[in-house]
Amino acid sequence: MQTVRSWPYTVAVVVSMLVGVAAVVGTYSLGIPIKDPEGFLGPAYVRLPLLALLLFGIGLVIAGARRRGWRQLRQGMVEVARYEWSLGRIIYIATGLLTFYVCYVGYRNLKSVLPVYREGVLYDRQLLEVDKWLFGGTDPAVILHAIFGVDLTAGVLSFVYLLYLPLVPVSLMAVLVLCRDLAVGAWYATALSLNWVLGAMSYYVLPALGPIYARPDLFSTLPDTGVSDLQQALLSNRLEFLADPIASDAIQGVAAFASLHVSVTFALALFLQRTGQSRSLRIAAWTFFGLTFVATIYFGWHYVLDNLAGVLIGYLAVVIGGWATGQRGGRVGGAVVTTKESEPALSLVNAA
């Protein structure tokens, strides 16, 4: 096993190849071409390199100023690029981006064809019953609406929920570009990739639409927000895809179990905890995870079991990612995983 992990990206590359093949076979066997999902800044193959270059530039400026001061910034940047940015480091970053990209595209395409492979199979009724049983016969979303209200809270939680969309690629770029320990960067890239793979598998195990689509009446009192617009857009894409899966250009993106919003935000917070980040950064990450957990139920994206399964996926992704990249000794509870006796494995303050 040590041989397998001699290069920290070995497992990530193998996993990305497997999920990539599964996505190609799974879609083309239905006569559906593989699709590249678009997001902010355009397709993933455009926005990921752009973000990498942006963060590289930011990191280079910060490191150059630290090395030579602002008055000799240019010379400092040249020295940093010459002595700290080796070909090996660039290859590591490119590998992290590529494995993440392949796993993400594979995940989105496998998620898209889910209703074709699991036609007519949905567990929303059972998941709704479990939610009500857990909360004494009342839907948890109704309880949250009563406690927090449906005006200001909806706007705040909508902002938090949508912030996840840029957070994932930006956090990956930050860790890969700004982290000096390349194996720790591989750890986070592997963990994110595993989130997509385990999430796609969970969709096929327990297909569900989510409360907002199974019981829209429970959310009729919520105001229009960015989240409600996104929910309508996803529903429109799903209907367009199901009308003609082969000819449609839409990517179907509705699936409840498990919550990848929860799994990824939990994985990020746990990763920062295990790499001994500053207290303020860890508090921010755990707070963001908690608010995301609440938002998914508040807006009806997920059932409670979806979120609990998301936490489990996030935990497994970090643990397996750590093992796969040779990061030993890390444990929950704030212990610092170290690469040198006196340096934390990841420090965004002392990075680049």
For 282-320, b/e burial (b = at least 16 CB within 10 A) is beebbebbebbbbbbbbbbbbbbbbbebbbbbbebbbbb
pLDDT tops 70 at residue 339: no
Q: Which long-range contacts (CB under 8 A, 24 or more apart) does 234-240 make?
A: 238/115
Instruction: Give, rounded to a whole angstrom, the gap between the first and last alpha carbons of the chain.
Output: 31
pTM reported for the whole predicted model:
0.87
Q: How confident is the model at residue 43 (pLDDT cuts 50, 70, 90)?
A: low
| Distance, CA of 19 to CA of 85 (rounded, Å) | 31
**Could you tell me if 57 and 63 are in contact, meaning their C-beta atoms sit under 8 angstroms apart?**
no
Average pLDDT over the chain, rounded to whole? 86
What backbone torsions phi and psi does residue 343 show, to the nearest 5 degrees? -120, 135
Q: By percentage, how much of the chain surpasses pLDDT 70?
A: 88
Q: What is the pLDDT of residues 235-263, one digit of tens each?
A: 999 999 999 999 888 899 999 999 999 99
Per-residue model confidence (pLDDT) at position 45: 66
Per-residue model confidence (pLDDT) at position 226: 94
| Distance, CA of 215 to CA of 224 (rounded, Å) | 17
Q: By percentage, how much of the chain surpasses pLDDT 90?
A: 63
Residue 331's CB is within 10 A of a number of other CB atoms, namely 10
| Distance, CA of 276 to CA of 347 (rounded, Å) | 8
Q: What is the pLDDT of residues 6-40, one digit of tens each?
A: 789 999 999 999 999 999 999 999 999 888 886 55
Per-residue model confidence (pLDDT) at position 349: 37
Per-residue model confidence (pLDDT) at position 50: 74
Query: What torsion do the CA atoms of 94, 96, 98, 101 make, to the nearest 10 degrees?
Result: -140
| Residue range 343-350: mean pLDDT, rounded | 43
Q: How confident is the model at residue 344 (pLDDT cuts 50, 70, 90)?
A: very low
Q: What is the pLDDT of residues 119-140, one digit of tens each?
A: 999 999 999 999 999 999 999 9
